[in-house]
C-alpha cells in the first residue's frame, strides 16, 4: 500500500503543484517522476559510503542529504556511512582513502586525475567517485548528482574530468553600499553592515551553486574600486566570507584601487616605481594575508573610465601590475590586471587601444600576473569579434572576461542565451600558430604554454529571490561555470542539462525550451545591432536604443562615433583606408575582413562603410537588409513568446508565468528597437521600408523624447 501511494504521488508530478520562486537554481533535485525511476536509483542512493573527515567532506555529506531528500520527497532517509568495510553501492573518497582493492581496479586511471579533477567509474556493480583533493571530490559528487538529476544511467559510468582553466571566477561589480553597477537583480547579496558577525544562508547557497559548476573564486567588490575594502574594517568582513566559502573550494579576491596608498595613508604619490609605494603594497599584502591566509589576490581596473593608474605617472601597465604582484608573490597570490584601458583623449578608434598598449609589453609582466581581457575589443556588445590580444601575447598569460550580466543585451528582461555568444568567441580562430589556434586554446594554455590560466564572468547575481532577475539568467551563470571548466563544452548540452535540472525532465518541455534558448541570441542581435552595428544603446544606462546619442565629454561614448551614418553610407571603416584596426588581426583575417564582398554580413558595418543602396550577397540593398533583419528580430521575439506559451502546464505555474511576462516585455522592447532605429537611420537612407517590414507605431520625435528615470544598473 505504501508503494502504491508513493507511485501515485510521484506520477502526478508534485513539482507542478508547488510554487517555485527559483531560489534553488539548478539544484532543485526534482522528485523522481514515477516509481520505476525512483526504484532504479533507490538502491544506490540508500547505500552511500563517504570516506574522509574535513569541512569539504561535511559539505558533501550535507549535499547528498539535500539531494536524496529532494529526489524522494523525504520518503527516504539518507544513509551515508563512513565505514570503509561496508557494502555501499556508491563510494566517494579521495584516491588515497580508497580501499586497496578499489585502487587496484582503477589502476592507471588514478594517475590521470589532476588536483581539481575527478573520476566517476562504474565497477562491479558499484560507483566510485574519487579525486586527489577534497575539492575535486566535491566537484565529482556534484557531477554524479547532475547525472541523476538529468536521469542518466548509472551502469557504465566512466567520466574523468580535469578543469582546463585554473582560475574560474565570478567578478562582482558590487559596491560597499550594496548597489550593483550593471546589476539588474536587486541589490548586492553582500550585507557588509552585518558582516563579520552574521553569515547569511544565501552566502552558503551561493557557494554551493558555484561549487556545483566548478567556479573556484570570487572577486566580491566593484572594479571601480573603493579603497576602504583594503582597511581592517572590511578585511575582517571579507575574512568572514572567505571562511564561509573555503569548504566549497572558493577563494576570495579583492579589487584594488590604484591610488589606495594616497587615499588610505596620505602618501604623496601612487607611482608604482616609488619605493614608498612599493613598500606600502607589501605591507598591505602582509596585513591582508593575516586576515585571509588563502587570499587569492587582486583584480585591478586602471587608466579606464576615470580610474587612476600608471598613466598618471607616465608608467606602463606592466609597472603597475608588477608592483602589486611583487607584494602578493610571497603568499602565492596573483594579480588580474584588466586590459580595458583607454587613454584620456578620444582616439581615432577606441577598439585599438588595448592592443596598442599591451602588445608591446608582452613578456614584461611578473609570472603571477594574468592580463584579463574582455571577449571583444569594445565593450560587451551584443556581437563583437574576438579581442585581437588573444593570440598576440604568447609570453603573457591572458584570461577571458565575459559579462554574465546583460548590460547591453536587454538587461534583466530579455531571454538571451549568452553561451551562444561565448561559444562563438571561444571557437574563433586567432591563427596565432596557424589554423586551429582558437581562443579557447589560448585560454587553456595549450597554445602558448601559459602556466596561469583563467576565465572571469561579471556576475548577474542580486537579492531577487531567483538570484538573476530573469529566471533564464540563471542559465548564463550556469553556462559560464561549465565553459570556464572546459571552454570546449557543447553549448547545446549545457543548455539541455540546465533545463532538466532547473525545470523538468519532460522531453517535450526540454526540446522546446532548448530550441527557444538556442535561437534567442541571434534573435536579439537582429532586433538590436544587425550587420555589425555596435554601441547604439542609450547613454549611460544602456537600456534601450540610442543611435542618435552624440556630443558630451567623449566622442567614443556616443553612438554616432561608431555608426557614422550620413546620407551616403553607414559603418566604421577599419580597413587600411580607415583606422586599420583590422591590422591587429592575423593575415588570414585581414584577407577575409578587408573586403566587404568577403566580410560576413554579421560584421559588415564593424569593418566597412557601406552605401545604403549597395547590393549585398542576399540580393538586398544594405538598407533593405537592415530593415528586414530588424523585422526578423521582432518576429523572432514573438515566436519565442508563442513557443513558450505552448509549455504552460509543463512546469510550475509561478516560473512559467514569470518568464511569460518577461517575454511580453521582450517583444515590446524588440519593437521599440526596430521602430526607433529604422526611423533614425531611415532619415539618412531616404529609402522606404521594404515589403514585410511593419510601419513604426510612432514618429521619430516620440522615440527621441522617450525617457525613463532611475533605470537600474548605472
pLDDT > 50? residue 105: yes
Please state, in angstroms and rounded to a whole number, the distance separating the CA atoms of residues 244 and 203: 7
- Torsion angles phi and psi, residue 497, rounded to 5: -60, -45
Q: How confident is the model at residue 187 (pLDDT cuts 50, 70, 90)?
A: very high
Output the average pLDDT for the chain.
Answer: 96
pLDDT > 70? residue 16: no
Helix extents (H) in 95-250: 100-106, 134-149, 201-212, 232-245
Please state, in angstroms and rounded to a whole number, the distance separating the CA atoms of residues 349 and 556: 8
To the query of whether residue 58 is one of the catalytic residues in this protein, the response is no
- Which pLDDT does position 346 carry in this prediction? 75
Tell me the per-residue pLDDT of 659-689, one tens digit each, with 9 for 90 and over: 999 999 999 999 999 999 999 999 999 999 9
| CB-CB neighbours of 459 under 10 Å | 29
pLDDT > 70? residue 6: no
Active-site annotation holder among 63, 134, 407, 573:
407
Active-site annotation holder among 39, 96, 158, 305:
305
**Percent of the chain, pLDDT > 90?**
94
Q: Exposure pattern of 162-190 as b/e (b: 16+ CB <10 Å)?
A: bbbbbbbbbbbbbbbebebbbbbbbbbbb
Q: Region 508-515: what's the mean pLDDT?
A: 98
Q: What is the 8-class DSSP label of residue 171?
A: E
pLDDT > 60? residue 13: no
- Which pLDDT does position 11 carry in this prediction? 41
- Which pLDDT does position 326 carry in this prediction? 98
CB 599 within 8 A of CB 614: no
pLDDT > 50? residue 5: no
Please state which CATH class domain 167-490 belongs to.
Answer: alpha beta
Q: How confident is the model at residue 647 (pLDDT cuts 50, 70, 90)?
A: very high
Tell me the per-residue pLDDT of 451-482, one tens digit each, with 9 for 90 and over: 999 999 999 999 999 999 999 999 999 999 99
Please state, in angstroms and rounded to a whole number, the distance separating the CA atoms of residues 288 and 292: 6
Q: E strands along 517-631, which residues?
A: 569-570, 610-611
User: What distance, in Å, lies between the first and last C-alpha atoms of the chain?
Assistant: 59
Q: How confident is the model at residue 10 (pLDDT cuts 50, 70, 90)?
A: very low
Q: What's domain 526-572+609-704's architecture?
A: Alpha-Beta Complex (3.90)
What are 335's strand-pairing partners?
Answer: 298, 369
Q: How confident is the model at residue 7 (pLDDT cuts 50, 70, 90)?
A: very low
- Which pLDDT does position 506 carry in this prediction? 98
State the sign of the Cα–Cα–Cα–Cα dihedral 311, 312, 314, 318: negative
Q: How confident is the model at residue 17 (pLDDT cuts 50, 70, 90)?
A: low
What are 123's strand-pairing partners?
Answer: 126
Q: Region 252-275: what's the mean pLDDT?
A: 98
Domain assignments of the chain as residue spans, ordered by start: 2-161, 167-490, 526-572+609-704
pLDDT > 90? residue 348: no
Please state, in angstroms and rounded to a whole number, the distance separating the CA atoms of residues 119 and 662: 41
Nearest Cα to 336, choosing from 171, 578, 115, 549? 171
Q: What's domain 2-161's architecture?
A: 2-Layer Sandwich (3.30)
Nearest Cα to 377, choosing from 317, 322, 432, 439? 439
- Which pLDDT does position 612 carry in this prediction? 98
Q: How confident is the model at residue 87 (pLDDT cuts 50, 70, 90)?
A: confident
pLDDT > 80? residue 90: yes
Tell me the per-residue pLDDT of 303-318, one tens digit each, with 9 for 90 and over: 999 899 999 999 999 9
To the query of whether residue 597 is one of the catalytic residues in this protein, the response is no
| CB-CB neighbours of 155 under 10 Å | 8
Q: Region 206-227: what's the mean pLDDT?
A: 98
**Percent of the chain, pLDDT > 70?**
98
Residue with cell 533614425: 680
To the query of whether residue 96 is one of the catalytic residues in this protein, the response is no
How do strand 48-50 and strand 90-94 relate by DSSP bridges?
Answer: parallel
Q: Region 122-127: what's the mean pLDDT?
A: 95
Contacts of 449 (CB under 8 A, 6+ apart): none
Nearest Cα to 132, choosing from 93, 106, 92, 94? 94
Please state, in angstroms and rounded to a whole number, the distance separating the CA atoms of residues 301 and 384: 21
What are 400's strand-pairing partners?
Answer: 373, 455
With residues binned 3-state (H G I as helix, E B as strand, rest as coil), the percentages for the chain, rounded to 5, are 45, 10, 45
Active-site annotation holder among 326, 379, 496, 624:
379
Tell me the per-residue pLDDT of 531-553, one tens digit each, with 9 for 90 and over: 999 999 999 999 999 999 999 98
Amino acid at each position: 500500500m505504501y508503494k502504491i501511494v508513493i507511485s501515485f504521488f510521484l506520477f502526478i508530478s508534485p513539482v507542478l503543484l508547488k510554487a517555485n520562486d527559483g531560489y534553488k537554481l539548478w539544484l532543485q533535485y526534482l522528485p523522481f517522476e514515477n516509481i520505476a525511476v525512483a526504484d532504479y536509483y533507490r538502491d544506490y542512493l540508500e547505500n552511500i559510503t563517504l570516506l574522509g573527515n574535513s569541512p569539504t567532506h561535511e559539505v558533501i555529506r550535507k549535499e547528498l542529504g539535500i539531494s536524496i531528500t529532494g529526489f524522494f520527497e523525504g520518503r527516504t532517509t539518507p544513509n551515508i556511512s563512513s565505514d570503509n568495510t561496508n557494502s555501499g553501492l556508491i563510494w566517494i573518497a579521495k584516491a588515497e582513502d580508497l580501499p586497496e582493492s578499489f585502487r587496484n581496479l582503477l589502476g592507471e586511471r588514478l594517475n590521470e586525475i589532476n588536483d581539481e579533477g575527478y573520476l566517476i567509474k562504474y565497477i562491479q556493480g558499484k560507483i566510485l567517485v574519487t579525486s586527489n583533493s577534497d575539492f575535486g571530490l566535491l566537484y565529482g559528487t556534484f557531477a554524479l548528482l547532475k547525472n541523476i538529476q538529468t536521469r542518466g544511467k548509472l551502469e557504465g559510468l566512466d567520466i574523468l574530468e580535469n578543469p582546463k582553466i585554473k582560475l574560474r571566477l565570478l567578478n562582482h561589480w558590487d559596491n560597499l553600499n550594496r548597489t550593483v553597477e550593471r546589476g539588474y537583480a536587486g541589490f548586492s547579496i553582500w550585507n557588509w553592515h552585518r558582516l563579520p558577525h552574521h553569515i547569511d544562508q544565501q552566502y552558503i547557497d551561493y557557494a554551493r551553486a558555484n561549487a556545483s559548476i566548478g567556479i573556484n573564486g570570487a572577486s566580491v567588490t566593484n572594479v571601480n574600486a573603493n579603497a576602504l575594502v583594503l582597511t581592517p574594517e572590511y578585511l575582517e568582513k571579507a575574512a568572514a566570507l572567505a571562511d564561509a566559502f573555503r569548504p566549497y573550494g572558493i577563494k576570495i579576491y579583492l579589487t584594488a584601487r590604484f591610488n589606495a596608498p594616497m587615499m588610505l595613508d596620505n602618501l604623496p604619490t601612487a607611482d608604482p616605481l616609488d619605493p614608498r609605494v612599493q613598500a606600502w603594497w607589501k605591507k598591505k599584502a602582509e596585513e591582508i594575508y593575516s586576515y585571509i591566509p588563502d587570499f587569492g589576490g587582486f583584480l585591478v581596473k586602471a587608466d579606464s573610465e576615470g580610474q587612476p593608474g600608471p598613466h598618471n605617472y607616465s608608467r606602463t601597465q606592466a609597472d603597475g601590475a608588477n608592483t602589486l604582484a611583487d607584494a602578493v608573490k610571497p603568499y602565492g597570490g596573483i594579480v588580474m590586471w584588466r586590459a580595458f584601458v583607454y587613454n584620456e583623449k578620444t582616439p581615432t578608434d577606441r577598439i585599438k587601444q588595448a592592443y596598442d598598449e599591451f602588445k608591446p609589453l608582452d613578456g614584461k609582466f611578473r609570472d603571477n600576473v594574468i592580463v584579463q581581457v574582455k571577449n571583444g575589443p569594445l565593450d560587451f556588445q551584443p556581437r563583437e569579434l574576438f579581442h585581437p590580444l588573444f593570440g598576440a601575447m604568447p609570453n603573457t598569460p591572458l584570461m577571458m572576461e565575459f559579462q554574465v550580466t546583460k548590460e547591453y543585451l536587454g538587461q534583466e528582461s530579455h531571454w538571451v542565451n549568452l553561451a551562444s555568444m561565448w561559444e562563438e568567441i571561444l571557437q574563433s580562430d586567432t591563427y596565432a600558430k596557424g589554423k586551429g589556434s582558437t581562443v579557447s586554446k589560448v585560454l587553456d594554455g595549450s597554445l602558448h604554454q601559459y602556466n596561469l590560466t583563467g576565465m572571469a564572468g561579471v556576475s548577474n547575481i542580486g537579492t531577487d529571490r531567483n538570484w538573476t532577475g530573469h529566471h533564464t539568467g540563471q542559465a548564463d551563470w550556469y553556462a559560464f561555470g561549465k565553459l570556464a571548466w572546459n571552454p570546449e563544452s557543447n553549448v547545446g548540452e549545457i543548455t539541455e542539462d540546465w533545463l532538466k535540472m532547473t525545470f523538468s525532465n519532460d522531453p517535450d518541455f526540454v526540446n522546446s525550451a532548448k530550441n527557444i534558448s538556442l535561437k534567442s541570441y541571434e534573435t536579439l542581435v537582429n532586433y538590436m545591432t544587425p550587420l555589425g552595428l555596435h554601441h547604439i544603446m542609450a547613454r549611460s544606462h544602456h537600456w534601450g536604443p540610442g543611435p542618435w546619442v552624440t556630443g558630451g565629454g567623449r566622442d567614443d561614448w556616443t553612438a554616432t562615433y561608431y555608426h557614422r551614418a550620413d546620407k551616403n553610407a553607414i559603418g566604421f571603416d577599419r580597413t587600411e583606408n580607415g583606422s586599420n584596426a583590422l591590422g591587429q588581426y592575423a593575415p588570414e583575417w585581414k584577407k577575409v575582413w578587408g573586403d566587404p564582398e568577403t566580410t560576413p554580413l554579421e560584421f559588415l558595418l564593424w569593418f566597412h562603410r557601406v552605401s545604403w543602396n549597395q547590393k549585398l550577397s542576399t540580393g538586398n540593398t544594405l538598407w533593405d537588409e537592415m530593415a528586414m533583419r530588424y523585422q526578423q528580430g521582432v518576429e523572432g521575439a514573438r515566436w519565442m513568446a508563442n513557443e513558450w506559451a505552448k509549455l504552460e502546464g509543463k512546469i510550475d505555474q509561478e516560473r512559467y508565468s514569470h518568464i511569460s511576462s518577461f517575454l511580453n516585455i521582450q517583444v515590446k522592447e524588440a519593437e521599440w528597437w526596430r521602430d526607433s532605429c529604422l526611423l533614425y537611420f531611415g532619415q539618412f537612407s531616404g529609402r522606404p521600408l521594404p515589403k514585410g517590414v511593419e510601419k513604426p507605431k510612432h514618429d521619430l520625435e516620440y522615440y527621441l523624447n522617450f525617457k525613463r528615470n532611475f533605470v537600474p544598473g548605472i
